[in-house]
Amino acid sequence: MAVPYKAPVKDVIFAYDVLNSYETLQNIDRFKDFSSEIAIPAIEECAKFAEEVLAPINSIGDSEGAIFNNGEVKMPPGYKDAYEKFKKAGWASMSLPTEIGGGGMPYTLSGGTLEVLCAANMSFVLGPGLSIGAISGINFNASKEQKDKYLPKLVSGEWTGTMNLSEPQSGSDLNHITTKAEPQSDGTFKLTGTKIWIGSGEHDLSENIIHLVLARLSGAPEGTKGISMFIVPKILINEDGSLGARNNVNCISIEEKLGIHGSPTCVMEYNESIGYLVGEENRGLHYMFTTINEARIRAGGHGLACTIGALQGAAQYARDRVQGRPVGMSKEDAKNSTIIDHADVRRMLMTMKSYSDAMRYMMYDSQMMLDLSYFAEDELKDFGEERCGLLTPIGKSWISDLSVELTSTAIQVYGGMGYVEETGIAQYFRDARIAPIYAGTNGIQALDLLFRKIPLDGGNAVSKLFGEMQSTVSEIEKLENFNHLSNTLKFHINELKNVTESITGLLIDGELADASGSATPFLKMFGQVLGGHYMGKALVKAHEKFTESNDEFYKDKITLSKFYLEQLLPLASGYIDAIKSGNEDLFKIKSNNF
């Protein structure tokens, strides 16, 4: 039996404090009243929903999975009912703008709800997450008429949406998309082609599914500059808004996957399917990118969520399991001890808990930057866009890679029982494994960081972030007794700055191939140090809160930051030599000799 998920409400709320979320969002007109008085009850309500509705069907979603039968996909037992409740409670649209019927809450808040809902049941939440992508794709780029036609029911959750990018020959590289769109005399288009990796491309939760599809008009320029975006509804919509004829778009199979069994991953066949152009021709990839950032940040959220679920399981198992006598403990004391009293088990739990705090701050901060980029004005908007751009690849990759490692650690805490599916802990490990892959593999993220994000604003974007990191060091220096921590953080920030400078030098010199070989270790190091920056901020905030309240919770946060800065942050240095090594040795061995 999986350990029942209990949402860590106080941790979520503390993260908002660490990030000064309320103060930051007050600079945005529509969020000026956003405060802990709104955030706390919202997260509490979300916690209740996640614990009571989503968590109980997580295991069954895994063991039974979504089932494909003759073009239709039957979702796991309990999903339909949960989806009705999900819709009604408004979780599908909480952070969508009120103008289109959403809850009007900041993305910052949906960082927390994403974590909580996903930790309870990642497979379930993936579908609505893709709807949000489709909604944003339409809302930012489609005509008023299209928005009026599709958004209300997508936002309410009556319909769901999908994102159709990949094709068998065109995954990470969208240059080679071949799905064709032929213009019809009535202004519509007929789409023909096969799309893969379509999450929730077919299911039985909603009466209609609205596919956002990338396709190529005949005569369009080659490559990504010739891709257009289309709306292709599963069921066509009549003039009066009622459901009309079934469109010729079909799910022809679903993938049998390592995890997220409750989320159908569909192969979709478009065969002269009726579609509607969104915006201008050949601007499809540009439009899609507005939603891709969000999807990448969410992928980090999935990693965080799996880690939290796994941590809770491991902690409970460690508290319950009686086994062995901890080193140095008397036989008498050991009679009441469980494996949580073993230093090595503690190290595993501390590692998971400390990392997951850093992951949380990083993910929520990216969400907050989405708010700035979408809703702030002038310089603050620019700052939000830039910072969001910089944080996204780091957060997506660092968090998702760690989530695989840490859910594996949770299995280790369970020992043999961790390898048995019945305990539910292996599900987190299997589910987490997708996060480094989708929404752009982590290798792609590393290239994005290096070639697109580090050079942002002539390097000023990253310089500003380093400046903030230095401020964190200064803040810690002001506290008593934590000088060794500020020193460690300072040391690693400086190492990161040096490495960034040397890699920027390669970019300036046009040594792009060489730089590309360093992209992944560079991202890993950046993530580890950025995590240190957040844990430093958390230390300062926790210290302040503990002084005010004497609440043990904040003392624990101090410990977790200390643990990160002392014991986890130093792993950052281990990547330097790999970063500096260039890519010569990577290519010395012939392909066939591997």
Residues 432-491 that bind a copy of itself (CB under 8 A): 433-434, 436-438, 441-443, 446-447, 451
> Which of positions 147-166 make contact with a copy of itself (CB under 8 A)?
166
Binding mask 509-548 vs a copy of itself (x if CB under 8 A, - otherwise)? ---xx-xxx-xxx---------------------------
* Rounded Cα distance, 586 and 594, in Å: 12
Q: For the CB of residue 205, give the shortest distance to a copy of itself in the complex, in Å.
A: 22
Q: Please give the torsion angle defined by the CA atoms of residues 452, 439, 161 and 132, in that order, rounded to the nearest 10 degrees.
A: -60
Quick check: 47 binds a copy of itself (CB under 8 A)? no
**H-type alpha helices, 517-567:** 519-549, 552-563
Q: For the CB of residue 285, give the shortest distance to a copy of itself in the complex, in Å.
A: 14
* Rounded Cα distance, 321 and 317, in Å: 6
Q: Which residues contact 44 (CB under 8 A, 6 or more apart)?
A: 9
- Sign for the CA dihedral angle at 33, 364, 312, 336 comes to negative
Applying CB under 8 A, among 20, 143, 271, 323 the residue interacting with a copy of itself is: 323
Q: What is the CA radius of gyration of the chain?
A: 24
Q: 115 phi and psi, to 5 degrees?
A: -55, -50
Query: Nearest-CA neighbor of 104 among 37, 28, 12?
Result: 28
Applying CB under 8 A, among 20, 36, 98, 172 the residue interacting with a copy of itself is: 172
DSSP annotation of 55 reads G
Q: For the CB of residue 145, give the shortest distance to a copy of itself in the complex, in Å.
A: 35
Stretch that binds a copy of itself, among 74-82, 148-156, 294-302, 311-319 (CB under 8 A): 311-319
Q: For the CB of residue 518, give the shortest distance to a copy of itself in the complex, in Å.
A: 8
> Which of positions 238-277 make contact with a copy of itself (CB under 8 A)?
255-259
DSSP annotation of 175 reads G
Q: Could you count the other beta carbons within 10 Å of the beta carbon of residue 323? A: 11
- Beta-bridge partners for 431: none
Q: In the complex with a copy of itself, which residue's Cβ is closer, 1 or 186?
A: 1
Residues composing the chain: 594
Applying CB under 8 A, among 30, 190, 346, 464 the residue interacting with a copy of itself is: 346
Q: Could you count the other beta carbons within 10 Å of the beta carbon of residue 507? A: 16
Q: In the complex with a copy of itself, which residue's Cβ is closer, 42 or 399?
A: 399
* Rounded Cα distance, 249 and 271, in Å: 6
Q: For the CB of residue 141, give the shortest distance to a copy of itself in the complex, in Å.
A: 25
SS (H, E, C) 64-106: HCCEEECCEEECCCCHHHHHHHHHHHCCCCCCCCHHHCCCCCC
Q: For the CB of residue 321, give the shortest distance to a copy of itself in the complex, in Å.
A: 9
410-439 b/e (C-beta count within 10 Å ≥ 16 → b): bbebbeeebeeeebbbbbbbbbbbbbbebb
Stretch that binds a copy of itself, among 100-108, 149-157, 367-375, 579-587 (CB under 8 A): 579-587
Binding mask 416-435 vs a copy of itself (x if CB under 8 A, - otherwise)? x-xxxxx---x--xx--xx-
Q: How many residues bind to a copy of itself according to rule CB under 8 A?
A: 105
Stretch that binds a copy of itself, among 14-22, 138-146, 316-324, 357-365 (CB under 8 A): 316-324
Q: For the CB of residue 13, give the shortest distance to a copy of itself in the complex, in Å.
A: 16
Quick check: 585 binds a copy of itself (CB under 8 A)? yes
Quick check: 97 binds a copy of itself (CB under 8 A)? no
SS3 93: coil
CA 134 to chain centroid, in Å, comes to: 16
Quick check: 553 binds a copy of itself (CB under 8 A)? yes
Stretch that binds a copy of itself, among 49-57, 127-135, 404-412, 459-467 (CB under 8 A): 404-412
Q: For the CB of residue 276, give the shortest distance to a copy of itself in the complex, in Å.
A: 28
Q: Which two tokens stand for residue 280?
A: 């201008």
Q: In the complex with a copy of itself, which residue's Cβ is closer, 206 or 427?
A: 427
